[in-house]
Amino acid sequence: MDDITENTLDVTRQENVTRILDAAERLFRHYGYSKTTVADIARDLGMSPANIYRFFASKVEIHQALCGRMLATAYQIAYDIRHQPISASERLRRYVETQHQLTLDLMLDEMKVHEMIIVAIERDWHVIEKHIDRVHDLIAEIIAEGIAAGEFAEQDPVVASRCFGAATINLCHPQMVAQCLAKTNRASVDELIDYVIRALKK
């Protein structure tokens, strides 16, 4: 098989994978993850379930790929914030505020998507752990730049990044946001962000 033919097959395969994921996401958003079957996805695309299984072994595998795609979007947002020409403190603030808003949007506007995220978290998939590690790396880079600029106290940026993530998790974790949203005895978004940024300066 020559390179041109092989590249054409790769492109065709990727196009089919994208079509399947787009259809699955559309149906998951409309009906919910638990109520959507592989047969439903195949019917939506006008193909047989056997065709779907040529690309994905199960609905779980489709779900995992969708989760990876959504996390890639979230990572790109974090990456863009990390490279903005503003202070380290403002980048950290903007990152948490943006992630919190993304979580709220999923919960309030698209409950079916929220269900899909919760299922993925409960299954503890490696794509989520990989995403957390990559975001921690970005935060560590921001903190290291803040230390170099004299904005933050001298410290291990890797440890500081993990602590920053742990301290703000209830603003970004779907289940924790859902539990804390209506409670009046919790720190506000601004109060918590101010607190953790002050901690980096001491």
- Domains of the chain (ranges, CATH numbers): 1-56 (1.10.10.60), 59-201 (1.10.357.10)
Q: Which residues contact 16 (CB under 8 A, 6 or more apart)?
A: 55
Q: Could you tell me the sign of the dihedral formed by the alpha carbons of 7, 12, 16, 22, in that order? A: positive
Diameter over CA atoms, the chain? 65
pLDDT in tens, the chain (202 residues): 555 555 555 777 888 899 999 999 889 888 888 889 999 999 999 999 999 999 999 888 898 888 888 888 889 999 999 999 999 999 999 999 999 888 877 765 555 565 666 676 666 667 788 888 999 999 999 999 999 999 999 999 999 999 999 999 888 876 677 676 667 787 888 999 999 999 999 8
